[in-house]
Structure 1
Amino acid sequence: MDPAPYNSFSAFAGDRLLATGPLAEVAIAVKIASAGQIADPITIFDDSTGRPIDLDLRGSHRDIVARLPQPPAAPAEAAAEPRGRGRPKLGVVAREVTLLPRHWEWLGAQPGGASVALRKLVEAARRAHGDRDRLRAARDATYHFMSTMAGNRPGFEEASRALFADDRRRFVDLIAAWPADIRDHIVKLAFSDRAEPTSA
């Protein structure tokens, strides 16, 4: 399970949300806006991390899209090369794992061998900790975005503490007076995979 709840990007011109969506759409929107009368600095964010990114917006729209970073290849594509062992049709990828001898001994004694045992352990951990990992990723992305866009705003330190304490009601109350687009985007990053806070 990927920790990011979605793969989207957002561009802000000052305090105003300019565009949000797939990277190509956001990049073109920024290019068009930059050619207009927008005086505010434009910042593009990766919503999965909350961090600003830099794009090369020179040339035509086609040039810009061609230069955008490509998403990593899917496991099935990465495993398309001929392999001597394993199950490439299932997306199985061989990588090195370093363990102590006692760990290898335990894994080797499990039904199906080390590979099957490791896959079962990983799947069990994903099920057990998936929600926690998603919430941590959302919290971290929210904090990074807040730091860039609202780090100097009143209540930032208190809002940060409420965010990390998962005090949703206090968090939303503390950011209520911030510019609407910034506030709404913060709420989206923090709570999009959970029920919306009642005071949002």
Structure 2
Amino acid sequence: MINGHSDITCTAFLGTRMVASGSLPSVTSIVKERLEDRELLQLLIFDDSTGKQIDVHFRGKTDDLAADESPRRAGRPKLGVVSGEVTLLPRQWEWLKGQPGGASVTLRKLIDEARRAGEEQGKIRASQESVYHFMTAVAGNFPHYEEALRELYSGDMDRFYDSMEEWAPDIKSHIKKLALDAFPKRNPG
């Protein structure tokens, strides 16, 4: 199997045609069974969470396939504490020291609050980046590509989708999937 990569969901394209979508082991198995070796050379597989291309070597049996990704670095446990340096003015340190729980507890609370407040913007930004990476790889030469990118980042969903009118159906469909969180939510009104 694809060692350590079974949790990645991805989509495979041969030209403008979507060939398979799902977990990385499932997608690699499907394309290995359905496509000829010469087609595998033209196949592009994209990580659905980032829109970036994943390199998979199709040598050997399906069970031996391996994705080329950076190995995970050893580090502190998932729930462990990571130390770092923070530079503050003296008055800020004094305020932190006077807070219940001390500086560390207060900083963690402030960070968590800021993360919650910026969560929607973060989702929008991450979705836009996924769309950007995928579009750049497969649609860079398509008509109205630059216009579509401008509309993506300006937040104009209708004009974004209108600019892709002439694009291949599988490409448009995958972009719509990646762009689910790319635009601010509309308030009913």
1:84-133 deviation digits (Å, cap 9, x = unpaired): xxxxxxx3x12122112535444332211122112211210111000100
The residue number in structure 2 matching 1:175 is: 164
Is 1:57 the counterpart of 2:58? The answer is yes
**What secondary structure is seen at the aligned counterpart in 2 of 1:55?**
strand
TM-score, scaled to structure 1: 0.76
Is 1:108 the counterpart of 2:97? The answer is yes
Bigger fraction of residues in strand: 2
Q: How does 1:69-88 map to 2 (within 5 A)?
A: 78=77
How many angstroms does 1:33 deviate by?
3.1
Change (3 A) 1:147 1:15: same
Change (3 A) 1:107 1:178: same
Unaligned 5+ segments in structure 1 are 1-5, 80-90
Q: How does 1:125-136 map to 2 (within 5 A)?
A: 125-136=114-125
The residue number in structure 2 matching 1:187 is: 176
Residue 99 of structure 1, aligned match among 66, 71, 86: 86
* 1: CA distance, partners of 2:180 / 2:88: 43
Q: Do the aligned residues in 2 keep the contact of 1:49 with 1:144 (CA within 8 Å)?
A: yes
Q: Do the aligned residues in 1 keep the contact of 2:127 with 2:178 (CA within 8 Å)?
A: yes
How many angstroms does 1:35 deviate by?
3.4
Q: Do the aligned residues in 1 keep the contact of 2:151 with 2:157 (CA within 8 Å)?
A: yes
Q: Do the aligned residues in 2 keep the contact of 1:14 with 1:40 (CA within 8 Å)?
A: no
TM-score, scaled to structure 2: 0.80
The residue number in structure 2 matching 1:17 is: 18
1:36-59 deviation digits (Å, cap 9, x = unpaired): 784881101112111111112222
How many angstroms does 1:194 deviate by?
7.0
Is 1:34 the counterpart of 2:35? The answer is yes
Change (3 A) 1:127 1:183: same
Change (3 A) 1:188 1:155: same
Q: Do the aligned residues in 2 keep the contact of 1:13 with 1:40 (CA within 8 Å)?
A: no
Q: Percent identity?
A: 39
* 1: CA distance, partners of 2:174 / 2:165: 12
The residue number in structure 2 matching 1:43 is: 44
What count of residue pairs does the alignment treat as equivalent? 177
Amino acid at match of 2:36: A
* 1: CA distance, partners of 2:39 / 2:68: 23
